[in-house]
Each structure stands twice: as structure tokens, then as C-alpha cells.
Amino acid sequence: MDSVLLIHAHPDDESFANSGRVAQLTAEGFKVVAIVATAGEAGELAETRDLERARRRRLEKYERALDILGVSSWEWLEPGAEWTDAPGRPLVSRADPLRLQGAVRRRLEEHDPWAVFTVGADGLTGHPDHVAIGYAVRVAARGSIIRGGVWGARLAAPDVRAGLRLVSEDAGNREVGSGRVIGTGTSLTAFDVADVETKRRLALDAYMGGLGTGDLGGLIGTADRIGDSLLLRAVYDAQGWATERYERIDAALRRIAVCAPVG
């Protein structure tokens, strides 16, 4: 059975970035293995100030989301690593790039994947940890024979602007997002993922009730803050859930069209 790797900095990155293609590939019989560098504790610290409890809560949500997408298992990028997604702790974005690249390369050698999915050059959202992981995958994949390609999720700048307009309808004078989500004007490959829209939405729900399936206006109206998660939800509403956009980041194999795009 051919394997596919899903490589990210934090739990929930996979659901925002690659859930459509991953759900399709698992349905086609591919063994998808998720690889994550940290437990994404920051997403839970508002609910609990205990770091260990935050870690457990986030990983439980991660496993629920992966189950929805059909992912067979998950692993740490570097078992025993000190990286933690929390203030004052060692961050992936501050790790030695060579160390990150080496960790990714070992995973590629271990699994010999048919394809790899991660985030594009801007980390999808501009988050420094995302950017660091995307770059590590880009470098580590050079020279590897990955038949199905290495794909980094991106947003189109017009879709981001449309999402911002959508949020502004209910946000009032509140600040929206981190300011790092801007998208790109470069050409992207679009994949038709209309058949797995429900799974995409439910995977987001695993992290926050209604994040994927709830009414956007209601979510914004009851949110303490309008972060990048809600902004991304709005972007997907604006662009339509039938499409995921990617850049092919394994330059050496750029001409091999094994994954047939649409559009």
C-alpha cells in the first residue's frame, strides 16, 4: 500500500491546509501518516493554564480530526524534541533549520511516501512555525523521488480579501486575525475536493465546536477574539469549499503531473 505523509508544525494545521486531498486519498486506499512537530498547546491555553493538560486536550482533538479524515496514524517529527507551542518555550520557528530538515529527511527515508502534503512558502497563514516546517520539507525533499509530488497549501490573495470582507460584516470594529494571512497572487494548482466537503468541515469542528459547520456570523458574534482560525473559515466560505489550492514545492519533479489537478 502506498503511503502519504502529512507534515505540520501543530495539530489543526492539517485540517486547515490539506484536509480535502487527504480525505480523498484515504478513501482511495492510501495509507496517510500524519507527522507533527508540537502538540499545538497554544490553542488550548485559553481554556486551561496547565501546559500538560493543554497538550493532552489538543492531541485528543488532533486524533479526532485525523479519524474523520481517515488518517491511519500520527508520529512526532522528532520524538523527544523540546519544541512546544507556548509562550516562553522552545519554538519550531527558532529551531536550527538544519535540524528540522534532518528530521523531515529521516521521515521521508523511513516512509518512502508516494506524496507529501504540508504548507506552502508562506506557511498558509504566515505563522513562523508553519513557515519553518514548510521550508524544511521543501529542502529535505530535494533529490527525493516522490512520485505523487510534494504539495504546499496556499491561499489566493483575492480569496483572502473576500474572506476579510465576509468577516467584517459581523466583526464591527474588532481586530481580525494576526495580519499575516495575505495569500498570494502567483498561479496555484486547484484540486476539486467537493466530494469531501463534509469531512473538511467536520475535521475543523473537532478543534472548536461549529468551526467548520456552524454559522459564520454566529461564530464571530460569540468569539472572544477573531483569530486566524475564523478568518480561514471565512476565506473557505468565500472561495467555496469545493477547492483546495496548492503550490508544487518539489521543483525537481515539477513537470511530473501524477496528481491530476482541475481548473
State pLDDT tens for residues 212-238. 999 999 999 999 899 999 999 999 999
Helix (H, G, I), strand (E, B) or coil at 129: helix
CA 45 vs CA 54, 154, 206: distances in Å: 6, 27, 17
Q: What is the pLDDT of residue 251?
A: 61
Burial class for 22, CB neighbours closer than 10 Å (0-12, 13-18, 19+): buried
Query: What single string gives the DSSP state of each residue in 168-210?
Result: HHHHTTS-BS-S----B-S--EEEE-GGGHHHHHHHHHTTSTT
Burial class for 95, CB neighbours closer than 10 Å (0-12, 13-18, 19+): buried
State pLDDT tens for residues 177-223. 999 999 999 999 999 999 999 999 999 999 999 999 999 999 999 99
Domain locations along the chain: 3-252
**Distance between CA 95 and CA 91 in Å, rounded?**
7
pLDDT above 50 for 262: no
**Distance between CA 202 and CA 8 in Å, rounded?**
19
- Higher-pLDDT residue of 254, 137: 137
CATH number at 3-252: 3.40.50.10320
**Distance between CA 263 and CA 246 in Å, rounded?**
12
Enter the C-alpha cell of residue 181: 494571512
**Distance between CA 134 and CA 100 in Å, rounded?**
10
The answer to whether residues 177 and 151 touch, using CB atoms and an 8 Å cutoff, is no
Helix (H, G, I), strand (E, B) or coil at 58: helix
pLDDT above 60 for 255: no
Which of 118, 120, 83 lies closest to 99, judged by CA? 83
**Distance between CA 80 and CA 210 in Å, rounded?**
33
Q: Are strands 73-76 and 189-192 parallel, antiparallel or unpaired?
A: unpaired
If you average pLDDT over every residue of the chain, what do you get? 94
Q: What is the pLDDT of residue 144?
A: 87
State pLDDT tens for residues 112-129. 999 999 999 999 999 999
Q: With bands split at pLDDT 50, 70 and 90, how would you rate the model's confidence at 64? A: very high
